[in-house]
Structure 1
Amino acid sequence: MELSAEDALRLNVLLANELEAVRIDESRMVVYALSPEGEASVRLNPQGRDDQYLKKVRELLSSQVLGSPGGYPVFLRRWTRMGQARDDSLEQLLLLGEPEAVVAVVHANGLTDEIARRAWWAMPVADNARRMLEHECVVNGMLGQELAEFLVDYLPFETEHKAMIETIRLVLQPGLISDELREKLWRSAKRKNSYYIGFMDACPDNLPEPSMPRSDWQQVSDTLSSLVESGNAVAEQLCRCLSAQGQTFLATAEAAMAKPTNQDVVVEFLKSIQRYFSSVCPHTDSAADMETIVSDAEALLDVPPVCPTTRAVYDVLQELPGHSADVRAMMALGWVGEPLVNPIFSHTDSIGSVMRKKIVPVTGPIQQQFSQLRGKVNS
């Protein structure tokens, strides 16, 4: 099958101009092109099957752009989605009319605000918007707010909870959405508590509706002020946890953990907790269970100060010997992560209430650490 003479001529005329991006509407059989002067289109007149005809169209585009009719190697999908597309070919990839080539562009490390604008015109879908908002140049560029507004509008139609969490985290970057919209998303989290995880990731120290600080926060802060000033990570994290925003984070974490919908939500929740407490204990045993983690955290309280972590723990407990349970809780929470649930999830694909029952050996001890830091249990 060959292109009709009329289509071949019109496409070659189109490609003779300075183009920024090309997309193909396969349902309507129209080729659209973006140029500095605006948009242009060529309505195709297929001879034979549409899919075979579109293949010929893309071969023409590839021959003109890349010098080869082979087109974009879509079999490299995983590779390009890891950001391995060559930065010097991104503009060319947007002229192929191939969706997977656009995906390669938005995943590329060398994405710029201008190339993002072209890619968004070529393929305005939610996943592309999320990938582009991972780039600081796009967040701070002309396109950032538009992408954020699109994702917020699309959020009610999103079906994957992991994508919801990612969307919330990305649109909450400074300067992308209004305070009113931020509050609306927070209220929506009461119905979809996976949203809370996005808030925990994006603004752990600036969550809406701040709680009261723990009753002993001021006394702890005053006592540990010199250690905090010297950079003691355990002292800093303890003051952080007992502050108003720290208590808000812990309350939000409890709400997120109350009814996780599926396994992806559980994994994202554990990652969020680990990030929040990572400064107090940078090492973890990926094979440990929660019982072992809590036991190891308890044992760490009596270890001689032989490394930066044990020195930080020792110095804090010298100043506040009555807060060993709080320190233990922080250390344990610093060790949580996805490996805790891998042995459970490797044997079940359950979701909802059934899944929540199976992960109680993980969530139960985590809740105990939260309760300790929120002052709900005796030290």
Structure 2
Amino acid sequence: MDLAPEDSLRLNVMLANRPQAIRIDESRMILHALSDKGEMEIPLNPTCRDEQYIKQIREMLSMHVLGSPSGYPQHIWSRMGHLNSENLEDLLLLGEPEAVVAIAYSEELTDDLARKAWWALEDAENARQMLRNADVVNGHMGKVLAAWLIEFLPFETEAEKIMDTVQLVLQPGLVEDTVKADLWKRARRKNAFYVGFLAALPDELPEPAAPAAAWERLQDGLRAMAQDNPLAARLHRLMSPAGQAWLATLDKVLEKPGTQDVVNRVLDVTAGYFASARPEGPADATIEELREEAENWVTDPGNALVRQILDMEPGLSHGLVAMRVLSGSGYGVVRPVFGKSDAIGTLMRRKLQPVLDPYREYINTLRNLA
């Protein structure tokens, strides 16, 4: 069945004027087009069932844009981010939500394309994906997307999405300090927020902390060797007020995590924070295996970086062991529990206690360096 004559005419006139993006409101049967002069609406007049008519509209758009009435499905795989720049402008004219998603995931995304894609489909996952793009973060759309995601946060129920959102909106330049303070307050009720802060602002957490007891005595010596010794640089950072605030926040998360996603993510963030203590890359080991390996690592006479620090202060051996253990954080630490249980909440925390109690001891070792 053909399109209604008035719809066909209006659509062809609209396409001749080279719109920037198209979206279709299926519930109201209205097609919206974005141009450099603003927006226009085309009320649709179905000649058959609405679903079938929308399909015909999209086939017409696809024929005009891609030369095939079924041209879009070949781009479904583009959610993986492999679209090239030549495809992107065209996909905005298909009136297909999945095509907009493809643009959000594209490595070729620009700030201007993000603007058009956001007009075409406001969606939380699209916003998060676009905020992983440096051009968008540093452009006009970065603040727009961050503000929208913050407004949407009360409606997010999954810890994974909350952690992603907080980490992404805390990128430099996107939100004001007052907004950061408000997000930090929300973390007191839902500690998934803290995980986003740990990842995004490791040295600028809103809640201050006192330096470690050994800070005044050792900071000059550690700073002097920090340029050539990444372990000394990390110890210097850990003993500082910023490092102590980070450790305190990490311990707060692990004291009462709500879901397995929170535990897994905070372990990954911890591994990244301590990466300089494990230059060979991530570990996949239990807490017992990490402890044994760390003790051997610290006592290895061939470990020049460790020896340099211990020559200055032998008492830092426990701190170095703790750093090495925490640098091996990851799923391996909790596999003995999570590999057998999908529990959350109180039951999960009870099952995790034999793992997290010794793990948290290493955190407290670094909080009590004297």
After TM superposition, the structure 1 = structure 2 runs for residues 1-379 of structure 1, keeping only pairs within 5 Å, are 1-73=1-73, 77=76, 79-229=77-227, 231-283=228-280, 286-305=283-302, 310-375=303-368
The structural deviation recorded for 1:223 is: 2.4
CA distance, structure 2, for counterparts of residue 144 and residue 107 of structure 1: 15
1:23-44 CA-partner distances (Å, limit 9, x unpaired): 1111111111100011111111
Residue 138 to residue 285, structure 1, CA distance change in 2 (3 Å): closer
| Contact 1:164/1:195 (8 A) holds in 2 | yes
* 3-state SS of paired residue (1:124): coil
* 3-state SS of paired residue (1:192): coil
* 3-state SS of paired residue (2:94): coil
The residue type equivalent to 2:210 in the other structure is M
The residue type equivalent to 1:181 in the other structure is V
* 3-state SS of paired residue (2:32): strand
* 3-state SS of paired residue (1:121): helix
| Contact 1:21/1:95 (8 A) holds in 2 | yes
The residue type equivalent to 1:71 in the other structure is G
1:190-234 CA-partner distances (Å, limit 9, x unpaired): 1111100000011101111210001111212122233113x2011
CA distance, structure 2, for counterparts of residue 285 and residue 271 of structure 1: 9
CA RMSD of aligned residues (A): 1.6
| Contact 1:286/1:340 (8 A) holds in 2 | no
| Contact 1:282/1:334 (8 A) holds in 2 | no
The structural deviation recorded for 1:365 is: 2.1
CA distance, structure 1, for counterparts of residue 348 and residue 26 of structure 2: 41
* 3-state SS of paired residue (2:80): coil
* 3-state SS of paired residue (2:304): helix
CA distance, structure 1, for counterparts of residue 51 and residue 175 of structure 2: 41
| Contact 1:80/1:107 (8 A) holds in 2 | yes
1:221-273 CA-partner distances (Å, limit 9, x unpaired): 122233113x2011011111111000000001011112222121111111111
* 3-state SS of paired residue (1:143): helix
| Contact 2:286/2:335 (8 A) holds in 1 | no
| Contact 1:234/1:280 (8 A) holds in 2 | yes
% identical equivalent positions: 46
| Contact 1:58/1:71 (8 A) holds in 2 | no
The structural deviation recorded for 1:284 is: 5.4
| Contact 2:284/2:331 (8 A) holds in 1 | no
| Contact 2:209/2:244 (8 A) holds in 1 | yes
CA distance, structure 2, for counterparts of residue 347 and residue 301 of structure 1: 33
The structural deviation recorded for 1:314 is: 1.8
* 3-state SS of paired residue (2:41): strand
The structural deviation recorded for 1:311 is: 2.0
1:255-305 CA-partner distances (Å, limit 9, x unpaired): 111222212111111111111101111235744211110111011111122
CA distance, structure 2, for counterparts of residue 102 and residue 125 of structure 1: 10
The structural deviation recorded for 1:178 is: 1.1
CA distance, structure 2, for counterparts of residue 204 and residue 240 of structure 1: 10
CA distance, structure 1, for counterparts of residue 45 and residue 155 of structure 2: 35
TM-score (norm. length: structure 1):
0.94
CA distance, structure 1, for counterparts of residue 68 and residue 325 of structure 2: 57
| Contact 2:205/2:246 (8 A) holds in 1 | yes
TM-score (norm. length: structure 2):
0.96
CA distance, structure 1, for counterparts of residue 292 and residue 58 of structure 2: 61
The structural deviation recorded for 1:62 is: 0.4
* 3-state SS of paired residue (2:160): helix
The residue type equivalent to 1:130 in the other structure is R
Structure 1, 349-358 or 143-152: larger mean CA deviation: 349-358
The residue type equivalent to 1:259 in the other structure is K
The structural deviation recorded for 1:312 is: 1.2
Structure 1, 147-156 or 286-295: larger mean CA deviation: 286-295
The structural deviation recorded for 1:181 is: 1.1
